Structure 1
Amino acid sequence: MHRVIIYWIAWVTLLSASVSASLLRPRRLSTMPLTPNFHFDGSTSDLAQQFYRRHLAGDTAEPLRATHGNLPDRIKTRLDDKNLRFEQLSPLLQRAVVWDTGYGIGPDGNFVRIYTTKGVPMSKIAVTLPELRSTLCTTTNCSDPDGWATYRSNNCTGEWMLSVSHCASESVPQASTHTSMWATGGSDDMIPTLVMLRHFWTDPFDNKDYTVFAIHTMAPELEPQWSACPAGNAYGSIIIPCDSYSPSRAKTKQWFDPAPGELVAHWLDETHDNIMRKRVMFFVMIPILCVLGIAMAFGAFCCVRHRRQSKLQTTSQPVVKDTWINLEGSSLQRALIAHQSVKDPLDTFTTRDADGSGSLRMTALSSDRVTHVLLQDPNLQDCRISMQCINFTKLISSGGFGEVWLADIDGQTFAVKRLLQGRRVTMDDVETFTDEIQLVASLRHPNIVRFVAVAWTTLENLCMLTEYLPGGDLQSFLKRRGHELTWAREKRQLAIGIARAVHYLHTRAPVLIHRDIKSRNILVRDSPLEAKLSDFGVSRSIQRECMTLGVGTPYWTAPEVLEGTVYTEKSDIYSFGVVLSELDTCQAPYHEVQYGNATEHIQPFHILKMVMAGTIQPQFSDSCPAGVKELALSCLNVNPQERPSARDVVRRLASIEQWTC
């Protein structure tokens, strides 16, 4: 009888798995017409592709305040043809459909119809920098946090601007804030807005009244004022100027409804398929699952005694005393002991299907690997604490994939890094973050940010605790206190500390390359003054077969890496040379070239070309000690083979006797 039941359970299980696989098999992403090497940097108006890429990354947004019944006819007809309702679309797909069909959103939340020249797709209406420069318009030249050039319109008549515009808009009654009507800029992790604003002014050049409509992809309250750059060199975002539409001018101007894009059509098909699969699954799977549930319940009843008798007894392991930090008598030690003394029902990871809430779909192999690292790695085994012990108090920073919080554990302050909340976490994200945790936990050096503990209940909320340094990063520290620092005291101490951290990485077996050494990845303790290297998210062992290109930050990146060569430890040495120039001048690299003389302003991409050619280097002040400058210039040598090793850098810094010019 038992054997029959077992066969029955196995058959029902295989049947349900087969049906689930066939019904839930997703559309292959390769069918999507994505642009290779796409970057949302202000050079394209393909907002639909940006929405889709953020959808793939797990981002989301608030649903648009519209229902299927009050949609414009063009959008409604497009969805009706796909048997879809607007409310069924994800928030990012809602925005993609609105944009791709030729609509923006006014300040009052109403849809604003957009026409394009010759009916080109909405992805083709951006006014490029060469097009703008073909007019007499001038620009304000800016730089984003990664050192890339962005531009905003400055002095420009409406006639000049509209001569290169590729779109026309229905009227928007509200006037805009005092901001630019054309701009480049953006970042790959941003979700654009679709705000249509009205720019009206009397131009002092010709004393004429002009009206230009502009599509702003950044929230108006975040836009910088006219002729100004984003505050703190923040990321800007593309602004697209449009003419004022009128039926009488439409034929002459060749304004037509934009052609729909392929990507949104595929995305709608994919959404329709997913909805239909779920509907079919409901009617097919419910009976199967009911039968399976009955069979499993009966099987469990038969096996319960045997399982109770063979239940494994677990014992807790004591906290290892020889840890990097002194936990004896601390609240963190109590958290560790409390966690290890009680068997947590969430000690193992669960495998769940991805849905809109952001949970995970993972392979058993990947899950086993992550579990093995977090539970079996000798540097992590005795460093897990309960999530209930962590009180998140303040968000310090947030990026495309992770965020860093201040957290309190029984009165002690720590920094907590975790995967970005509110986005769908992928298995690649978890594995990459786990690799970083494993690496940081293995590092033991006074000039490297100290690993403290790890915590999780599920893969999505995996956390790494490190020491908190209230002095902030070196870049902000130099801006705040640079005027009072000298090479004879503070700068010398900071430089030697950073060099020792790099030397430690390069003397590991195998050699560890940081790959993103810069002032923002160096944290500072005010008292006693101390520099600590941080952020090992892109660090790699030199023995790995693939040293990924394109990471790091341009101004700190070695010329050979900019040219496409793989990273070596000498690439880190070049980055350290740039940091020495920051310590000396208390300014970002090439600051004097970008902002020193408006008549000799050089754009970031030109600077990078000059860096690769070896015709420009970070500058040093007249007060820089000769020994420091000589060492820095050797670190900045275009030829990697001519740069000193990290050991030589530490030795030469320690041997400098004259610390004043």
Structure 2
Amino acid sequence: MPAENSNSYDREGEPFVEVDPTGRFGRYTDLLGSGAVKKVYRAFDQKEGIEVAWNQVRLRYFSEDPVLINRLHSEVELLSTLKNKNIIVCYNVWKDDERNTLNFITEVCTSGNLREYRKKHRHVSIKALKKWSKQVLEGLEYLHTHDPCVIHRDLNCSNIFINGNIGQVKIGDLGLATMVGRSHAAHSIIGTPEFMAPELYEEDYTEMVDIYSFGMCLLEMVTMEIPYSECDSVAKIYKKVTMGVQPGALNKVTDPEVKAFIEKCIAQPRARPSATDLLKDPFFSELNDGEELNSAS
């Protein structure tokens, strides 16, 4: 069906609420996810005949700061140039002045995010967790060695996605990512407290903050518990993280190899290995069948 004839309807099917300027992508009403400033809707790529995600940022939240809006736009545009099998594909980016929104179309993974997927499948071998972890690190290696370097800054299990039928893992939600020059540290606080490296709070950090977050993601994958869930406030998490107190969940990791690998990732910034170094770690050398991990309940 030619895009020009389908500007508001998918003919017999569900009507589109909105169509992108090229006429290729149509948005439906149902939400796939919702955040503080962004909503993600189910959408359809008429050219390829596949379902996609329509990410919509309401710019009124940034209306006092046109510089920030332009920066956000250019960052998302740069993200659309990233091409890696472990990074969610961004197909199109545009600003809608009439609706005052920034929109971008991304791919959808069949099984949703890793947090929900792990809850659904409680018995997962160490081998499978290593396979997922390796793919996350391959995505991070691509981002960190990109020119300019890309720091995700908000890596956690809710924005790592999975195609469960083939066990393919992809890093998504790079809306908070920032591009930094090789020699420059980034300077703004952003992220999810439980997964934030201590130096993020100091507003002086490098791509190594993503390695810390990756370590916390692996901890969550193993224990099915969000790190620092023993804390009942962000202030308490902040205090523990900045004092170097490890999350309680780490004591539930019974496999010494896994525990040592996580500790390597959440070490002090200068002691943390890069994604490239971690991929060479003996942890991944033999993906032998591991014992089934039962829930940490």
2:208 alignment counterpart: 570
Aligned partner of 2:110 among 470, 480, 486: 470
CA-to-partner distance for each residue in 1:271-297, whole Å, 9 max, x for gaps? xxxxxxxxxxxxxxxxxxxxxxxxxxx
Question: In the TM superposition, what is the alpha-carbon distance from 1:608 to its structure 2 partner?
Answer: 2.5
**Structure showing the higher helix proportion among its residues:** 1
2:279 alignment counterpart: 650
2:249 is paired with a residue whose SS is coil
Alignment of 1:248-647 (within 5 A): 335=3, 386-387=22-23, 389-410=25-46, 411-420=49-58, 425=63, 427-428=66-67, 430-455=69-94, 458=97, 460-481=100-121, 483-489=122-128, 491-543=129-181, 547-562=186-201, 564-591=202-229, 593-594=230-231, 603-617=233-247, 619-620=249-250, 625-637=255-267, 639-647=268-276
Alignment of 1:19-418 (within 5 A): 335=3, 386-387=22-23, 389-410=25-46, 411-418=49-56
**Structure showing the higher strand proportion among its residues:** 2
Distance 1:623 1:581, change over 3 A: closer
Distance 1:578 1:587, change over 3 A: same
Question: Letter of the aligned partner of 2:120 in structure 1?
Answer: R
Contact 1:624–1:660 (CA<8 Å) still a contact in 2? no
CA-to-partner distance for each residue in 1:19-47, whole Å, 9 max, x for gaps? xxxxxxxxxxxxxxxxxxxxxxxxxxxxx
Contact 2:143–2:150 (CA<8 Å) still a contact in 1? yes
Question: In the TM superposition, what is the alpha-carbon distance from 1:434 to its structure 2 partner?
Answer: 1.4
Distance 1:612 1:477, change over 3 A: same
Q: Which has the higher contact order (CA 8 A, sep 6+)?
A: 2
Distance 1:550 1:659, change over 3 A: farther
CA distance in 2, matches of 1:546, 1:403: 30
Distance 1:424 1:456, change over 3 A: closer
Which blocks of at least 5 consecutive residues in structure 1 are unaligned?
Answer: 1-330, 340-383, 595-601
CA distance in 2, matches of 1:533, 1:392: 24
2:70 is paired with a residue whose SS is helix
CA-to-partner distance for each residue in 1:70-92, whole Å, 9 max, x for gaps? xxxxxxxxxxxxxxxxxxxxxxx
Question: Letter of the aligned partner of 1:397 in structure 2?
Answer: G
1:552 is paired with a residue whose SS is coil
Question: In the TM superposition, what is the alpha-carbon distance from 1:497 to its structure 2 partner?
Answer: 0.8
Contact 2:195–2:216 (CA<8 Å) still a contact in 1? yes
Distance 1:388 1:448, change over 3 A: closer
TM-score under structure 2 normalisation? 0.79
CA distance in 2, matches of 1:406, 1:585: 31
CA distance in 1, matches of 2:287, 2:195: 28
CA distance in 2, matches of 1:539, 1:445: 16
Number of residues of Structure 1 aligned to a counterpart in Structure 2: 271
Question: Letter of the aligned partner of 2:82 in structure 1?
Answer: L
Question: Letter of the aligned partner of 1:463 in structure 2?
Answer: N
RMSD of Structure 2 on Structure 1 (CA): 2.9
Question: Letter of the aligned partner of 2:271 in structure 1?
Answer: E
2:165 is paired with a residue whose SS is coil
1:537 is paired with a residue whose SS is helix
Contact 1:447–1:498 (CA<8 Å) still a contact in 2? yes
CA distance in 2, matches of 1:391, 1:607: 38
CA distance in 2, matches of 1:457, 1:565: 32
CA distance in 2, matches of 1:462, 1:561: 27
Distance 1:424 1:608, change over 3 A: closer
CA distance in 2, matches of 1:439, 1:424: 20
Which blocks of at least 5 consecutive residues in structure 2 are unaligned?
Answer: 6-19, 292-297
CA distance in 2, matches of 1:604, 1:458: 36
CA distance in 1, matches of 2:278, 2:177: 20
1:418 is paired with a residue whose SS is strand
CA distance in 1, matches of 2:34, 2:54: 12
Question: Letter of the aligned partner of 1:644 in structure 2?
Answer: P
Contact 1:506–1:513 (CA<8 Å) still a contact in 2? yes
Question: Letter of the aligned partner of 1:488 in structure 2?
Answer: K
Question: In the TM superposition, what is the alpha-carbon distance from 1:583 to its structure 2 partner?
Answer: 0.9
Question: In the TM superposition, what is the alpha-carbon distance from 1:614 to its structure 2 partner?
Answer: 1.5
Report the structure number with the largest CA radius of gyration.
1
Question: In the TM superposition, what is the alpha-carbon distance from 1:565 to its structure 2 partner?
Answer: 4.1
1:588 is paired with a residue whose SS is coil
Contact 1:391–1:409 (CA<8 Å) still a contact in 2? no
CA distance in 1, matches of 2:109, 2:156: 17
Distance 1:422 1:441, change over 3 A: closer
CA distance in 2, matches of 1:651, 1:467: 29
Question: In the TM superposition, what is the alpha-carbon distance from 1:387 to its structure 2 partner?
Answer: 4.4
Question: In the TM superposition, what is the alpha-carbon distance from 1:401 to its structure 2 partner?
Answer: 2.6
CA distance in 2, matches of 1:565, 1:542: 13
